[in-house]
Structure 1
Amino acid sequence: MTKLITIAALFITSLFFGQGKYEEGMGKAFQLWKEGSNTEASAMFERIASAEKDNWLPNYYVALVNVTTAFTTQDKDKLSALLNKAQDAVDVELAKAPENPELLVVQAMIYTAWIVYDPMANGRKYGSKASEVYEKAIKIAPENPRVVFCKAEFEIGGAKFWGTDIKPMCAEVDRAIGLFATYKNDTKFAPSWGLDRALETQAACKK
């Protein structure tokens, strides 16, 4: 009995130790990202993902860091490297959880980044793919503020390109802002971004 208790105690201690290392690593990765060290942040999230194979969040942030960085470059080689890394990370997690709405949002963002880089070459190829992903995400999580906002933002871009009315999408941006105020996620390090961009888009809608 004593031996069993000792083994149990060691197991529990190892769980807490492991959790502590995970939280420490995630915190460091977020700090690097906040400081603008995107490459280093991505590498840190990748190391955590390799150790936390049952946790989708590290790979989610590998993808998010790289896709958001991709929106800031017009260098084709750099953009391709960033988006390929983001895609690889998303593929790993979507294979395990194909209906995770947060992962679907990032997948749609990857398609959007390709479109933004070269609308004429990539618009037709990736536009329908992004729309399909957003439609899937909104059916799964109609009250998720990132799903609602990012879908609306993507559709606003398309409407402006084609010269159509953006009012319905702006109404969805308003709805997303309300959802940001009430949406709860109890998982530590779960996605919480998007409100600032939604407010900026709301202000642009009113001009």
Structure 2
Amino acid sequence: MREFLYTCLIGLISGFTANAQSQYESGMNQAFELWQMQKPVEAANLFERIAKAEEDEWLPYYYAAQVNIIESFSMTDKSRKEQQLKEAQDLINQAATFSNGGNVEIDILQAMLHTSYLTLDPSVYGMKLSPVINNIYNEALRKAPDNPRVVLSKAEWDMGSAQFFGEDPKKYCDDLQTSLALFDKTSSVEQFYPAWGKERVETLIARTCKSN
């Protein structure tokens, strides 16, 4: 997942203005710079401080949670990982509180958190969490079929599930191509709105779908 982090950042930072006009914008840009410099703890802490200062912005909570979730995938200490995911869940809950209902970007984060938790022990958590993750992605796709990150995230989850059960993940290559086309049609609706994913889907297509 670490490569996922840095391909996310390419799309995020390239879309943000360099001339911040407010303290909020300045702080957000600084947090993204820390993240890009591979200082995730400092980035997450700054995102969280911004969130507490702004109070009515969902995006700082979103990014604080995202940093913690992505970093959790590489953790080997079970208790530390569980604590980090608990903190990320609290941040997701806060993001949902300050966002309009039905925010599929937050839904994707929730599915990612469950996926990270599942990796603690797939034999224990797979039966419990796999249906939950499936339901989140299916509902997100129903709500926002043209959101490229929804299509990408569901396809990547489906590909991982296929590999786990010894099936060919290439059967989801059409979904990846759909996601890529959607990225080319989609523009951010507000400053700092999630824009990650295009580089990730290009990597997955190159890695898995060369013959398709």
**What is the TM-score of this pair, normalised by structure 2?**
0.84
Shift of 1:116: 2.3
- Kept after mapping to 1: 8 A contact 2:73/2:116: yes
Work out which of the residue numbers 35, 43, 46 in structure 2 matches 1:44: 46
Shift of 1:77: 2.1
1:129-186: CA deviation from partner (whole Å, max 9, x where unpaired): 1111111111111111110000100011111111234344221011101111111113
Unaligned 5+ runs, structure 2? 1-20
Work out which of the residue numbers 75, 78, 83 in structure 2 matches 1:76: 78
Q: Give the equivalent residue in structure 2 for 1:145.
A: 148
State how many pairs are aligned.
190
Work out which of the residue numbers 8, 27, 30 in structure 2 matches 1:28: 30
> How far apart, in 2, do the equivalents of 1:98 and 1:72 lie?
31
- Kept after mapping to 1: 8 A contact 2:180/2:202: yes
Alignment of 1:1-207 (within 5 A): 20-96=22-98, 97-206=100-209
Structure 1 runs (4+) greater than 6 angstroms displaced: none
Q: Give the equivalent residue in structure 2 for 1:9.
A: none
> How far apart, in 2, do the equivalents of 1:202 and 1:186 lie?
26
| Greater RCO (CA < 8 Å, at least 6 residues apart) | 2
> Which of the two has higher C-alpha Rg?
1
Identity fraction in percent: 38
Shift of 1:199: 1.3
Structure 1 pair 75/148, CA: closer, same or farther in 2 (3 Å)?
same
> How far apart, in 2, do the equivalents of 1:143 and 1:168 lie?
20
> How far apart, in 1, do the equivalents of 2:63 and 2:140 lie?
18
Q: Provide the aligned C-alpha RMSD in A.
A: 1.6
**What is the TM-score of this pair, normalised by structure 1?**
0.86
* Equivalent AA in structure 2 for residue 123 of structure 1: G
Shift of 1:26: 0.3
* Equivalent AA in structure 2 for residue 122 of structure 1: Y
> How far apart, in 2, do the equivalents of 1:131 and 1:83 lie?
19
Shift of 1:37: 1.0
- Kept after mapping to 1: 8 A contact 2:69/2:88: yes
Unaligned 5+ runs, structure 1? 1-18
1:112-135: CA deviation from partner (whole Å, max 9, x where unpaired): 111223211111111111111111
> How far apart, in 2, do the equivalents of 1:138 and 1:198 lie?
17
